[in-house]
Amino acid sequence: MTATVSTKRMDLHVSPLGRVEGDLDLRVIVEDGVVTKAWTEAGMFRGFEMILKGKDPQAGLIVTPRICGICGGSHLYKSAFALDVAWRTELPPNALLVRNIAQACETLQSVPRWFYALFAIDLTNRRYAKAKGYDEAVRRFAPLVGESYERGVTLSAKPVEIYAIFGGQWPHSSFMIPGGVMCGPTLSDVTRSIAILEEFRHNWLESRFLGCSVDRWLEIKTWEDMLAWVDENESQHNSDLGFFLRFGLEIGLDKFGAGCGNYLAMGTYLHHEKYNRPTIEGRNAALIQRSGIYANGRHYEFDQARVREDHTYSFYQGSGLLHPFEGRTEPMDPAEAKRQGKYTWAKAPRYEIDGLGYVPLEVGPLARQVIAGKPGEAWQDVDPLFSDIIAKKGPSVLVRVLARLHEEAKLYKKVREWLGEIDLHDRFYIKPVEHEFGRGFGATEAARGALADWIVLENGKIANYQIITPTAWNIGPRDSQNVDGPMEQAYIGTTIQDPGDPVELGHVARSFDSCLVCTVHAYDSKTGKEIGVYRIGETG
């Protein structure tokens, strides 16, 4: 293809934009080599919310993990809590510990798998051939054969071995149920889990990824600390994280992909002694990794009642701004929907903030780490690092990636701690009353961000089930006010050096770690007559 970067206005259409897990099409308008408008188009719809209607109250435990095999354990975690709330269950401490361990192990798996298999291979793009670190990037990150790729992807399977010990398998177990968990672990289940975790730490996390102890890494509290850490010694300088930080700065990953700058975390890891009677109201105060909103420089408390979904630009009947308890999923033929200006299967989640209206919010590790910057209790995740980085450098592809990587060290420590707190002689389950009527809300933080279910039970079956995925928050479309979704905003201002190989667009998409299959409502790209992918059409 001819790369005609000119001062002209171009319409660039990338289909498929791979390695975002699922199908994401992207259309951007480029003016003078800079993105000025963007549309993210999710291309697939399966209708899980429609399938769940009228089914067994516990059907969500089987169905929702299958929305996304990448974060199926997270789906299970929040759908179990939604039912706990609806059935007004009691949870023994062990059940909360095991659920937390399992969910955290899924994320421990996701971080290296995402980093090596999905993100870092773009660093081997020939675009960077002139960069000083290029040969080294190829040696480490080349797909399937790179030294770090092979080790990282292979060892990413280790943390989910722990998941399998408690849940039988990963992906797609349904072992978390209202009232607790299905397993009754034995001594060796716990000791083996500890040994696997230590093997993961030793063989990858510390030796290859950090180049230092987990504790040394966690001493980093500011951006300057992080830069000093890189140059502290050879081992840190040459670890995968040390190298990524240096190379990322060299090729300018800190220069684009800022996004909307406003963040939402619904929080996760419910404390084993503080959420034994799950309710919507009691949830925020029991979260180890906290919930919250950070918008226009201020922190706000999270309240699920302020969540809405807008589908003005989504392939569903009508438009509206509905709370998920009242949510509707009525799909349209995309061909017809497009005539109404709709362009994606993703709905546009919004959050109401007094004085700001219904705003789009970025979710994910960066959101969580910004929320971690506010004061909290000693048992909670309180961490000033990313508030500091945001204040000094602002958000970018690089910062988003660093937030994700940073959490790996913290989660290792939490899992180790929780394994130590399981009381093998206590209960793991308390049989609940299966109420015929009820409403529940359950949420968590999947590796890629806030994930929540709203369930309404009537006459012993599901009357309504609505799911909002992190991917919907991030890649969702414009809303009725014509405000872009967070990822769409993140593209604006990105310089495309070569429209024939717009690697920058890939970096932005992948920094969000969107798993497109994760949008329950997912899309159709434009059905152009030509099958040309970077369709470079001059639009005047």
Partner 1 sequence: MATLLWFQGGACSGNTMSFLNAEEPTVCDLLTDFGIEFLWHPSLGMELGEQAQALFHALARGEKPLDIFVFEGTVIRAPHGTGRYNMFAERPMLEWVQMLAPQAGIVVAIGDCACWGGIPAVAPNPSDSIGLQFLRREFGGFLGKDFRSKLGLPVINIPGCPAHPDWITQIVVALATGRAHDIALDELNRPKTFFTSFTQTGCTRNQYFEYKQSTMEFGQGTRKGCLFYEFGCRGPMTRSPCNRILWNRQSSKTRAGMPCTGCTEPEFPFFDLAPGTVFKTQKISGTIPKDMPAGLDPISYMGLAAAARVAAPQWAKEDMFVV
Touching partner 1, residues 333-362 (CB under 8 A)? 333-335, 345
- State the minimum distance, in angstroms, from the CB of residue 418 to partner 1: 17
What phi and psi values does residue 421 have, to the nearest 5 degrees? -95, -10
Least separation in angstroms between residue 291's CB and partner 1 is 26
Is residue 449 within the footprint of partner 1 (CB under 8 A)? no
Q: Does the N-terminal peptide bond of residue 171 adopt cis geometry, omega within 30 degrees of 0?
A: yes
Distance in Å, CB of 377 to partner 1, minimum: 29
Q: Give the footprint of partner 1 on residues 167-186 (CB under 8 A).
A: 167-175, 177, 179-184, 186
Q: By CB under 8 A, is residue 435 in contact with partner 1?
A: no
- Looking at the Cβ atoms of 331 and 376, the one nearer to partner 1 is 331
- Per CB under 8 A, the list member of 222, 299, 461, 480 interacting with partner 1 is 461
Q: Which is nearer to partner 1, 488 or 504 (CB)?
A: 504
Q: Contacting partner 1 (CB under 8 A), which of 8, 9, 11, 19?
A: 19
108 binds partner 1 (CB under 8 A): no
* E strands, 271-364, in order: 287-289, 292-295, 298-300, 307-310, 321-322, 348-353, 357-359
Q: Does 460 bind partner 1 (CB under 8 A)?
A: yes
Site for partner 1 in 116-155 (CB under 8 A): 117-118, 121, 143-145, 149-150, 153-154
Q: Judged by CB, which is closer to partner 1: 52, or 307? A: 52
Q: Restricting to residues 47-86, name those near partner 1 by CB under 8 A.
A: 47-48, 50-51, 54-59, 61-63, 66-70, 72
- Ranges within 386-425 binding partner 1 (CB under 8 A): 424-425
Edge-to-edge strand ranges of the sheet holding 298-300: 263-265, 292-295, 298-300
Q: Least CB distance from residue 524 to partner 1, whole Å? A: 4
Cα–Cα separations (whole angstroms), residue 272 to 196, 197, 238, 278: 23, 21, 39, 11
Among positions 3, 5, 9, 18, the unique one binding partner 1 when judged by CB under 8 A: 18
Cβ 295 vs Cβ 259: under 8 Å? no
CB of 50 vs partner 1, minimal distance in Å = 5
C-alpha–C-alpha distance, residues 122 and 138, integer Å? 10
Question: Which of 77, 141, 166, 313 forms a contact with partner 1 (CB under 8 A)?
Answer: 166
Region from 112-120, 202-210, 214-222, 367-375 binding partner 1, contact rule CB under 8 A? 112-120
532 is a contact residue toward partner 1 (CB under 8 A)? yes
Binding positions for partner 1, 280-319, rule CB under 8 A: none
CB of 530 to partner 1, least distance (A): 8
Question: Is residue 369 within the footprint of partner 1 (CB under 8 A)?
Answer: no
Q: Which amino acid is at 205?
A: L
Structure tokens at 472: 């919907």
The residues, ordered by sequence, that sit 6+ positions from 445 with a Cβ below 8 Å of its Cβ are 74, 265, 266, 267, 268, 289, 368, 451
What's the first-to-final CA gap in the chain, in angstroms? 20
# binding residues, partner 1 (CB under 8 A): 107
Which residues, numbered 182-211, are part of the site for partner 1 (CB under 8 A)?
182-184, 186-187, 192
Nearer to partner 1, 13 or 201 (CB): 13
Q: Which of 156, 268, 304, 464 binds partner 1 (CB under 8 A)?
A: 156
Q: Counting contacts by CB under 8 A, is residue 491 touching partner 1?
A: no
User: Which of these segments, 244-252, 382-390, 473-481, 496-504, binds partner 1 (CB under 8 A)?
Assistant: 496-504
- Sheet containing strand 348-353, edge to edge, reads 321-322, 307-310, 348-353, 357-359
Q: Which is nearer to partner 1, 456 or 483 (CB)?
A: 456
Residue type, 251: I
Residue 338: CB atoms within 10 Å: 15
Cα torsion through 291, 522, 482, 261, rounded to 10: 30
Closer to partner 1 at the Cβ: 218 or 533? 533
CA distance 466 to 324: 6
Peptide bond before residue 395 is cis, with ω within 30 degrees of 0: no
Lookup: tokens for 258: 């800022």
Q: Of 269, 218, 139, which Cα lies nearest the Cα of 405?
A: 218
Q: Is 251 in the site for partner 1 (CB under 8 A)?
A: no
Residue of 253, 284, 255 whose CA lies nearest to 270: 284
